[in-house]
Amino acid sequence: MTAEAAQAIGPDPVEPIAPAAGEGPLRIALLSYKGNPFCGGQGVYVRHLSRELARLGHTVEVIGAQPYPVLDGGVPLTELPSLDLYRQPDPFRVPGPREYRDAVDLLEVGVMLSAGFPEPLTFSLRARRHLAARRGEFDVVHDNQTLGYGLLGLERLGFPLVTTIHHPITVDRRLELDAAPNRRRRLSVRRWYGFTRMQKRVARRLPSVLTVSGTSRQEIIDDLGVRPERIHVVHIGADTGLFSPDPSVPEVPGRIVTTSSADVPLKGLIHLVEALAKVRTERPDAHLVVVGKRSDDGPVAAAIERFGLGGAIEFVKGISDAELVDLIRGAEVACVPSLYEGFSLPSAEAMATGTPLVATTGGAIPEVAGPDGRTCLAVPPGDAGALAAALCRLLGDPDLRRRLGAAGRERVLRRFTWEQAARGTADRYREAIAARAATRPR
């Protein structure tokens, strides 16, 4: 299930699979300060990794805050509620006096009122307090990119700690500052991303960091200053049982599908809108389906109006897993126009369905999508002309679409599945447990 789209259609049963020889089950606490899959790739990660770890025989408990994770059957969720200051339809709300429970709540509201983002810090403090009351119940704690100060106390409580950093949020900050149209907007971006200073400090003190690609590993070294020997790459993957080819689903002539959000600059949707305008001069039937959020104003909305593409671009949201997969299967081309990705689940999921892919070379996308002309067509990020040329080439060449689609599916099956991700992650858990035991005073 992708980050922006897919609505859960009920928990899937967790069917056990055999662990590797000599590997005993572990008790895992998986922390997720923002786990709903509609809010980003972190929610997708928590759902699929927890399910596959459970299938391997481990006991996984997800501890999360709002918006709460969507989990498959057999994986329990412990709710660690925040004040939910960004909920719809009243984001940036000020709670009533009776909602405050403790000093952490006061801190959460104070940071929000100063135009900052408090959730990583306040969730980490609540998680440390919660785990302090549960010493001995878990073999390892796995943090999913919270990187809050509260994590630094967990090892003193006796918990081996592993942290996943999908990519440094400093990259998002940099790209949003570059896209800011004026000084006022740049000031707002700097205030919102103030929590990245905390994340840098915490990341440098973490004993074991997992990341999802070699590109993200280098960004973590460069941006966060984490020592290279502490960072381990464990690729994530697609749900290849769900995202699979189905010849009975007819292709829709001219359909291009992408997973994006109109108000996130690093997703590059504005460049795809411009490319579509160019494509339609040669292929009038070309149209775009965007799985994600539509903005009523902003650069993307302005571009759609400027190029007269209101009838050629459709935004969809809140669809089921099955509807999402059929949407991708029915496309002649899938496109990932991002300026940067730490891994690119949309690439892996589209390739898993056998849909041919046009993708940029931003961030880790080439690690997932593979070589240009063999498993995808690759273009430079931010280049609408190159994007348009690649889309026209694929739309006009059915044989190339079939060849790239088949090669993409085979690449995902070999390299990027959630079972492989779970096995690799469990190996890192055991290393963290062994390292903790070796340094523990007798």
Quote the pLDDT of residue 21. Answer: 42
Answer whether 269's CB lies under 8 Å from 262's CB.
Answer: yes
Mean of pLDDT over the chain: 92
Q: Exposure string (b/e) for 332-360, b if CB count within 10 Å is 16 or more?
A: bbbbbbbbbbbbbbbbbbbbbbbbbbbbb
Residue 87 region, left (φ>0) first, then alpha (ψ -120 to 50), else beta? Answer: beta
Question: What does the pLDDT look like over 192-226, one tens digit per residue?
Answer: 999 999 999 999 999 999 999 999 999 999 999 99
CA atoms in the 13 A half-sphere facing the CB of 408:
35
The closest alpha carbon to 409, from 241, 233, 235, 288, belongs to 241
Q: Would the CATH topology of 27-237+418-439 be identical to that of 255-415?
A: yes
What is the CATH number that goes with domain 27-237+418-439? 3.40.50.2000
Q: What are phi and psi of 333, to 5 degrees?
A: -145, 140
Q: Using only C-alpha atoms, what is the Rg of the chain?
A: 22
Sheet holding 161-164, edge to edge: 77-79, 59-64, 27-32, 140-144, 161-164, 209-211, 231-233
Question: What does the pLDDT look like over 116-145, one tens digit per residue?
Answer: 999 999 999 999 999 999 999 999 999 999
Tokens (6 digits) for 262? 């109109």
Question: What does the pLDDT look like over 236-278, one tens digit per residue?
Answer: 999 999 999 999 999 999 999 999 876 788 899 999 999 999 9
Q: What number is the average pLDDT over the span 5-25?
A: 51
Quote the pLDDT of residue 442. Answer: 54
What are the residue boundaries of the structural domains of the chain, listed by start? Answer: 27-237+418-439, 255-415
Euclidean distance between CA atoms 169 and 340, whole angstroms: 11
Euclidean distance between CA atoms 184 and 338, whole angstroms: 25
Quote the pLDDT of residue 30. Answer: 98
Tokens (6 digits) for 243? 């995202």
Q: Is the pLDDT of residue 2 over 80?
A: no
**Distance, C-alpha 128 to centroid of its chain:** 24
DSSP 223: I
User: What is 331-368 written as a DSSP string?
Assistant: -SEEEE--S--SS-HHHHHHHHTT--EEEE--TTHHHH
Query: Going by C-beta distance under 8 Å and a sequence separation of 6 or more, which residues neighbour residue 196?
Result: 168, 169, 170, 173
Query: CATH number for the 255-415 domain, one of 3.20.20.140, 3.40.50.2000, 3.30.70.360, 3.40.50.1820?
Result: 3.40.50.2000
Residue 15's pLDDT band (cuts 50, 70, 90): low
pTM of this prediction exceeds 0.85 = yes
Q: Is the pLDDT of residue 286 over 70?
A: yes
Q: Is the pLDDT of residue 18 over 80?
A: no
Residue 22's pLDDT band (cuts 50, 70, 90): very low
Q: Is the pLDDT of residue 6 over 50?
A: no
Quote the pLDDT of residue 179. Answer: 85
Quote the pLDDT of residue 3. Answer: 40
Question: What does the pLDDT look like over 45-89, one tens digit per residue?
Answer: 999 999 999 999 999 999 999 999 989 878 999 999 999 999 888
Question: What does the pLDDT look like over 27-42, one tens digit per residue?
Answer: 999 999 987 765 567 8
Euclidean distance between CA atoms 330 and 247, whole angstroms: 9
In the chain, the percentage of residues whose pLDDT exceeds 70 is 93
Quote the pLDDT of residue 318. Answer: 83
Quote the pLDDT of residue 5. Answer: 42
Q: Is the pLDDT of residue 107 over 60?
A: yes
Q: What number is the average pLDDT over the span 343-365?
A: 96
Question: What does the pLDDT look like over 302-322, one tens digit per residue?
Answer: 999 999 999 999 999 888 889
Q: Helix-strand-coil percent breakdown of the chain, rounded to 5?
A: 45, 15, 40
Quote the pLDDT of residue 106. Answer: 97
Euclidean distance between CA atoms 341 and 262, whole angstroms: 16
Quote the pLDDT of residue 371. Answer: 97
Quote the pLDDT of residue 38. Answer: 58
Answer whether 223's CB lies under 8 Å from 171's CB.
Answer: yes
